[in-house]
Each structure stands twice: as C-alpha cells, then as structure tokens.
C-alpha cells in the first residue's frame, strides 16, 4: 500500500480528481495527507470532508524559503510518503527539498513543456498563436518546470478561445492525465533513465483530446 501526500495552494481540483480515482479505481494506495501553504486554500475543505488529514504550512509565517522548505519537509515526513504530488502548489522548492524527494515527487504543469514554463501559460499560448496546447506531468527537479516528462496531454486551441476557456479545457485534461500517471507510479511502471522516463506497460504517454471542445 503506497502512501501519497498531495501539496496544494488553492482550489485543489487535481487533488480532488486524484482522491476520487484512488477510491473509485481501488488503487493499492492511500492519500495520507493534503498539505497547503495557504490556510484559505479551498481544496482543504474537500480533503477534510473526505476524512483526509490536512496540514497548513503557511509560507507567510517563515523567514525565508529555506525555513519554509524545512518545515514542509518535517510535515511531509510525518506521513512517510512514497510519492509527493504537487497539484497546483505554487511555491518554489529549494534544491535540498527537491533532492530529498528525487524521483518520487511529481507535478502537473498547464502547458506542453518545454513550452510555456512559469505562469500565465494559457494567455501566453494564445498570444503565441499555437494550435495545440495541453498539460505535462513530470518528475520534479531543481530547475523549474523542467524535470523528466512522464506524460503529456494535448487539446486544440480554437478560434475565439479566451485564456479562461482554454484553461478550463486543459484542466479537464489534467484531471484525466494526472491520476493515470500516478497510478503508473503506484504500480511501479515508471523508470527514470538518463533524465528520460520509461513506462514498463505498453501504454501511450500521450493523451489526445482533440475533440475536447
């Protein structure tokens, strides 16, 4: 039985998708805790109502990134996670933090990496005039939005799209992609070799949702 700890900063819809998939697909895993760096994160309510332990490590209460990251490690290690899941967690992590959870911490990013790292990915995709956009699940390394790519999902960019419309389309894709990838981890199907991810099962690491309008 593997233990997951999910880190959020806000709405937590990806966390919700993961919790629901874990229960409905009967993963041999449990979500041991949801940790937020913001006391007002909406996702904490969902976790509490689903009897999942919640912890707030408020970054505002710490004097600098190192102190915050050390507190986060202490909170995380209480639950001895096999996998740390970043789900809309919007704080930069220190190299020491990233090293501690090397190859057992993943993130979902709302773009087709390596395009559009950082923030405002949907507006930047629209401004650049791309025809496809999407989401990437990757292992976390010290370089922001840069770790080994595990899987990607693609949606079309349609004429008339606003950043909000495109974000909603990508988010629906994230909710499908992220639980699928976490399940591969739980089933020991993922290997990292020379910074590239290999998947033991013959399943595609690419999810097309070209009809996701």
Which residues sit at the interface with ligand GAR, rule CB under 6 A? 8, 10-14, 87-88, 108-110, 171, 174
Nearer to ligand GAR, 145 or 187 (CB): 145
Residue 88 or 179 with smaller CB distance to ligand GAR: 88
Residue 138's φ and ψ, nearest 5 degrees, are -140, 155
Annotated ligand binding at 73? The verdict is: no
d(CA 99, CA 21): 28
One of 109, 122, 133, 138 is an active-site residue; which one?
A: 109
Residue 91 counted as an annotated binding residue: yes
Q: How far is the CB of 111 from ligand GAR (least distance, A)?
A: 8
Identity of the residue, 33 or 201, whose beta carbon is nearer to ligand GAR in the bound complex: 33
- Distance CA(55)–CA(19), nearest Å, equals 16
Helix axes 163-186, 121-128, angle to 10 degrees: 120
Q: Tell me the residue number closest to ligand GAR, measured at CB.
A: 88
**Would you say 14 is a known binding-site residue?**
yes
Query: Based on CB atoms, which residue is closest to ligand GAR, 124 or 183?
Result: 124
Minimum separation from the CB atom of position 48 to ligand GAR (A): 16
Tell the smallest beta-carbon distance from residue 181 to ligand GAR (Å). Answer: 13
Q: Provide the 8-state DSSP code for 213.
A: -
Asked about 175 being catalytic, the answer comes back as no
User: How many angstroms separate the Cα of 110 from the Cα of each of 67, 76, 99?
Assistant: 28, 25, 23
Q: Which of 98, 116, 95 is nearest to 106 (CA)?
A: 98
User: Does the annotation flag 93 for ligand binding?
Assistant: yes
Output 67-73 pairs: Cβ under 8 A, ≥24 positions apart.
68/37, 69/93, 69/94, 69/96, 69/97, 72/7, 72/35, 72/37, 72/97, 73/97, 73/100
Confirm whether residue 92 is marked as ligand binding.
yes
3-state SS class at 194: coil
CB of 200 to ligand GAR, least distance (A): 26
Q: Which residues have a catalytic role annotated?
A: 109
User: Where is the binding site, in residues?
Assistant: 12-14, 65, 90-93, 107
């Amino acid at each position: 039985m593997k233990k997951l700890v999910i880190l959020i900063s806000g709405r937590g819809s990806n966390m919700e998708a993961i919790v629901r998939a874990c229960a409905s697909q009967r993963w041999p895993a449990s979500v041991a805790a949801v940790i937020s760096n913001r006391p007002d994160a909406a996702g904490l309510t969902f976790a509490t109502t689903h009897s999942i332990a919640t912890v707030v490590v408020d970054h505002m209460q710490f004097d600098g990134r190192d102190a915050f990251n050390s507190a986060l490690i202490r909170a995380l290690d209480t639950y001895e996670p096999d996998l740390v899941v970043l789900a809309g967690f919007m704080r930069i992590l220190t190299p020491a933090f990233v090293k501690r959870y090397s190859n057992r911490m993943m993130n979902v990013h709302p773009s087709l990496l390596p395009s559009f790292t950082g923030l405002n990915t949907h507006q930047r995709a629209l401004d650049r005039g791309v025809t496809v956009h999407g989401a990437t699940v990757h292992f976390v390394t010290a370089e922001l939005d840069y770790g080994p790519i595990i899987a990607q999902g693609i949606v079309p960019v349609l004429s008339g799209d606003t950043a909000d419309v495109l974000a909603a389309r990508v988010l629906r894709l994230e909710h499908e992609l992220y639980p699928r990838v976490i399940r591969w981890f739980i089933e020991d199907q993922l290997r990292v070799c020379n910074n590239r991810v290999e998947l033991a099962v013959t399943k595609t690491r690419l999810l097309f949702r070209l009809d996701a309008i």
